Each structure stands twice: as structure tokens, then as C-alpha cells.
Chain A
Amino acid sequence: NAGVTQTPKFQVLKTGQSMTLQCAQDMNHEYMSWYRQDPGMGLRLIHYSVGAGITDQGEVPNGYNVSRSTTEDFPLRLLSAAPSQTSVYFCASSYRTGGMDEQFFGPGTRLTVL
């Protein structure tokens, strides 16, 4: 298994540009989520999904959209990038919603918005 994969690894955007951060997992996990991590801080939840077709907001959802059309993929869209969205973005997945299972994290996407 490849686990949780994220693309791209690095990205530089200009203010106002849009882009999609990709996340995929091959473990048939129901639950997937996106976090952001700003320098020197812990992770904050952006959006999460408990299964295909079901998404919900986390603690910092503004400026981001998500959709979950398949079990494997959970892309994160920035519609109009702002410098405040400069951060490292991590995608995570786990097997059972509401269960005790560990979450698997991807390697992260480092985004800079100029």
C-alpha cells in the first residue's frame, strides 16, 4: 500500500489564484480529513469527510472547499488564495468513523501564497 499520498509537495501561488491540493489513500478508509499547520503551531482541522458524498467543516474552513466523490480521493480547493493561507497542509485518513483507529497522515503540501 502507498498509504496516504499528497500532491504537490510544494506550491507557490499569487494572491487570488486558485488551486487544488490532491489527497489519495489506498487503504479503503472511510474517514479523511485536511489539516493545516502554521509555523510553530499545532495542526488545525479544515474539513473532513466520513464517506463518499459526505463532508463537514472543521475549525478553520473559511477559504477552502472540499468534495468526496470516491472513497479514495479527497481534494482540497483554494478558490482565491490569500497570504494567510500560507501553511503546510496535511491530509489524513482512518478506517472507521468514530472508532478507535489510528489516523494515517500524508507527507504534506507546503504552500506559499505571495
Chain B
Amino acid sequence: DAKTTQPPSMDCAEGRAANLPCNHSTISGNEYVYWYRQIHSQGPQYIIHGLKNNETNEMASLIITEDRKSSTLILPHATLRDTAVYYCIVRVPRVYGNKLVFGAGTILRVKS
């Protein structure tokens, strides 16, 4: 699975969009980009994933650059409850095993 690089922390004002970057310059053509988050002391929560097209769901949007070497997770209207560690994971879905390799992630602090 390709290595990812994320900033260690970011701040965002409540009600504003939170844009979390992820660099994955060694991504291969069949690797997907996944985002999970972990709110303090809880189990990680799936947010969104994509291959090359931009994706949107009820939680967030995922923007992947055309060369697929980086992506941005967008929380359109951040709330205090979005304060969490956000993990960007790049992986190839395998026949045997859906292993997720978690890095250090980005600590997002949403402030009022």
C-alpha cells in the first residue's frame, strides 16, 4: 500500500469548511484513497473513499487530483463534533483481507 503524508494538526473555525490534505505521490493505478476519523476514545469511523473521481456523501467530499498524487477531504460546515484525528489510507482491495494500515493522521480541532 502506498505511503501517505498528512499534516500533524489543523485548526478550523466552527461553521467553516475544513480542508484536510493528504499526499500519496507513490499511489498506483489500482489503489483507492480511504478516509477514516477517530473521535477521542472511540473506534475509527469510515468517512469516504474514491479511486479517481471526486466523491461526495452526507459526511464529506473527497477531491482527488488528476494525477492522483494527492487528495483533499472537505467537511463543508465543520462543527465542534468534527474534532477528531483524520486518517488518509491508500490501499489495494485484496481478495484475502481488508487490512487497513493507519498512519499518524491529522488532528483537526474545530473551534468556536
What is A's interface to B at a CB cutoff of 8 Å?
4, 31, 33, 35, 41-45, 48, 50, 56, 58-59, 88, 90, 92, 94, 97-108
Contact = CB atoms under 8 A, between A and B. Distances in A.
B43 A92 contact: yes
Interface stretch (B9-17, B18-26, B65-73, B94-102): B94-102
Contacts of B94: 97-98
A103 B98 contact: yes
B7 interface: no
A59 B87 CA distance: 18
Contacts of B103: 42
Given A42-B87, A105-B44, A33 B99 contact: yes
A5 B49 CA distance: 24
**What class of interface size applies to chain B in its complex with A?**
20 to 34
Contacts, number: 69
B44 A90 contact: yes
Contact of A56 (B41, B97, B102): B97
B43 A105 contact: yes
Contact of B99 (A45, A101, A104, A108): A45
Contacts of B105: 42
Which of A43, A88, A92, A99 has its CB near the most chain B CB atoms (within 10 A)? A43
The 8 tightest CB contacts between A and B, nearest first, are A105-B43, A102-B46, A42-B102, A98-B95, A43-B102, A98-B94, A105-B44, A98-B93
- Looking at chain B's contact residues, the main secondary structure is loop
A25 to B, nearest CB: 12
B98 A97 contact: yes
Nearest to B103: A42
A50 B93 CA distance: 13
B98 A99 contact: yes
Which of B44, B94, B96, B98 has its CB near the most chain A CB atoms (within 10 A)? B98
Contact of A31 (B43, B49, B98): B98
Given A41-B104, A42-B104, A44-B102, A98 B97 contact: yes
B42 interface: yes
